[in-house]
Amino acid sequence: MTRQVVRVCALLAASLLAGCEIGVEGTPEATQQPAIATSAAKPGTRVARGHLRFVEHYADGYSRAVSEGKPMFVFFTAGWCHFCHQMAEEAFTHPQVVSLSEHFVCILVDADAEPDVCRQFEVTGYPTIQFLSPRGAALQRIVGKKPGHQLMMAMQAALQSVARRPAGADDAQARKDNLDQISAGKL
């Protein structure tokens, strides 16, 4: 029994320490940290991309995904997000991630430029990656900075999910909902 308690305590301690590396940032307003808010105000702050080719703006990426029949890799980020930059530099340069990205339409959503899209997808922490079917149905979500090998596994799982998924009513409804929101100016 004592040995189990020690193991549980060790796992909890490791989890807490690892939590520092998970790397999820909220919006500057949510965190209320002056350093982050100051960096958000810097003109010319760029959003990191790594080696992935992104379509900017959700509506443009969504239209492209529908026309090409490819699933979407939607990267919610911001210029002020330290963990987003780290993930782009580390995971988005991983050779397998770059290779797998060719099977997706990669869409970059800048939280400062498209806050309505972030609200629509209920994104509260950055970085967030949302995988969507070619018709807009949610497949999987990743929140927080992840290393390349974890992102690669999530990308493979999303592609497998799309391959197993019959074109059904849920995809048709998701596509209709997305198109309605885009035409209403909500996305």
Q: What is the pLDDT along the chain (187 residues), one digit of tens a residue?
A: 555 544 544 444 443 333 334 455 555 554 433 332 223 334 444 666 788 999 999 999 999 999 999 999 999 999 999 999 999 999 999 999 999 999 999 999 999 999 999 999 999 999 999 999 998 999 999 999 999 999 999 999 999 999 887 765 455 555 555 555 555 555 5
Give the pLDDT confidence score for residue 79 in this predicted structure.
Answer: 92
In 3D space, the residue among 124, 27, 111 whose CA is nearest the CA of residue 76 turns out to be: 111
Which residues have CB under 8 Å from 6's CB, separation 6+?
none
Please report where in the chains the tokens 């996305």 appear, as a residue: 187
Contact by Cβ (8 Å): 106, 52: yes
56 has which bridge partners? 108
| Cα three-residue angle 167-123-20, rounded to 5 degrees | 120
Contact by Cβ (8 Å): 25, 81: yes
Tell me which CATH code domain 24-180 carries: 3.40.30.10
Distance CA 157, CA 141 (A): 11
Question: How many C-beta atoms surround the C-beta of residue 40 within 10 A?
Answer: 17
| Per-domain residue ranges of the chain | 24-180
Amino acid at 71: P
129 has which bridge partners? 75, 142
Give the pLDDT confidence score for residue 6 in this predicted structure.
Answer: 47
Question: How many C-beta atoms surround the C-beta of residue 53 within 10 A?
Answer: 12
Model confidence over 12-52: pLDDT tens digits? Answer: 444 333 333 445 555 555 443 333 222 333 444 466 678 89
Distance CA 8, CA 184 (A): 51
